[in-house]
């Protein structure tokens, strides 16, 4: 299926997006913002430069109010609002473009003072709209690789995703499009530890995970040749599942064998993460649905999803 010719966006009669297809980047970091402040600031500026400051129109202040973001104000924002991460226990920096639910461009860094304790992580999370990804894919992949080389992350990935305020709507779409990401890092971070959060088009393993799987050579020995495996920095690696990201459309029987193989490998190594602490999938009554959540995270292993 040629994803460049189709899009999963849903635009309502008022012209606003209720569902937006995006290209998402996520890194989980088992360190507090006190330890990684400079790297996170570089990542934020790097994303802003990648998409241009004009695309990021607003920031959330400490009260959760959306204020206009100007290029010259971003250094001051990071220094005054968040004290360069020096004066706040939990850092939460959110920038977005136009369209609030959901916006076209988005960035969030959620720094948790507990990161590294128990199984908790901080996370860096951003996305661009799909059409922007199609036009700038090479530059975006280069940006992600630079992030992976500099951030002390445990697990990360980049993938096509759908974002929407309606959780049930996302879950229904995900039943058909199984390679599309619908996860919520704010819940995943609470118990991901040093495990792998799934199989995605670009899957990044930090130092602990890379060591657990015996490095690049260990992965190359166990995984199909269709998965491109590279060292991106000392002790870290990237796995690329095919030449381009896919939807995994079960109605068109898209080939998911690389995703299935990687997930099975993670599961056999007992490093596949399925969130347990927070259940954020919903049933038809709007109640927490633990089974639906587990089925989605294990969808490449079991056919019940």
Q: Is the pLDDT of residue 142 over 80?
A: yes
pLDDT at residue 130 in the model: 96
Dig out the tokens for 42 from the structure: 């570089």
pLDDT in tens, 252-301: 999 999 999 999 999 999 999 999 988 899 999 989 999 999 999 999 99
Span 166-182, average pLDDT: 94
Tell me the CB-side half-sphere exposure of residue 103, using CA atoms within 13 A: 19
Predicted model pTM: 0.94
Average pLDDT over residues 230-237: 93
Host H or E run for residue 23: strand 17-29
87-108 pLDDT, tens digit per residue, is: 567 788 899 998 877 999 999 9
CB 28 within 8 A of CB 121: yes
Q: What is the pLDDT of residue 81?
A: 47
The answer to whether the beta carbons of residues 282 and 165 sit under 8 Å apart is: no
Residue 304 pLDDT more than 90?
no
Q: What is the mean pLDDT of residues 9-28?
A: 87
Confidence band of 174 (pLDDT split at 50, 70, 90): very high
């Amino acid at each position: 299926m040629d994803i460049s010719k189709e899009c999963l966006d849903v635009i309502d009669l008022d012209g606003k997006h209720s569902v937006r297809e995006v290209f998402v980047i996520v890194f989980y970091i088992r360190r507090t913002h006190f330890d990684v402040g400079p790297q996170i600031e570089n990542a934020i500026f790097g994303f802003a430069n990648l998409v241009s400051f004009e695309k990021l129109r607003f920031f959330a202040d400490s009260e959760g109010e959306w204020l206009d973001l100007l290029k010259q104000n971003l250094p001051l924002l990071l220094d005054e609002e968040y004290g360069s991460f020096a004066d706040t226990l939990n850092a939460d920096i959110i920038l977005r473009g136009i369209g609030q639910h959901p916006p076209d461009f988005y960035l969030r860094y959620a720094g948790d003072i507990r990161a590294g304790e128990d199984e908790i992580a901080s996370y860096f999370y951003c996305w661009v709209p799909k059409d922007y990804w199609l036009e700038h894919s090479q530059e975006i992949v280069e940006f992600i690789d630079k992030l992976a080389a500099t951030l002390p992350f445990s697990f990360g990935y980049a993938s096509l995703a759908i974002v929407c305020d309606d959780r049930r709507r996302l879950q229904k779409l995900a039943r058909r499009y199984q390679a599309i990401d619908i996860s919520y890092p704010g819940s995943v971070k609470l118990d991901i530890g040093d495990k792998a959060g799934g199989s995605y088009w670009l899957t990044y393993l930090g130092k602990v995970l890379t060591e657990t799987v015996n490095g690049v050579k260990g992965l190359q020995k166990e995984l199909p040749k269709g998965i491109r495996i590279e060292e991106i920095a000392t002790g870290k690696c990237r796995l690329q599942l095919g030449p381009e990201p896919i939807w995994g459309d079960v109605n068109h029987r898209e080939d998911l064998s690389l995703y299935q193989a990687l997930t099975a490998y993670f599961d056999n190594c007992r490093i596949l993460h399925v969130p347990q602490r927070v259940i954020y999938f919903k049933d038809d009554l709007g109640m927490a649905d633990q089974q639906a959540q587990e089925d989605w995270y294990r969808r490449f292993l079991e056919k019940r999803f």
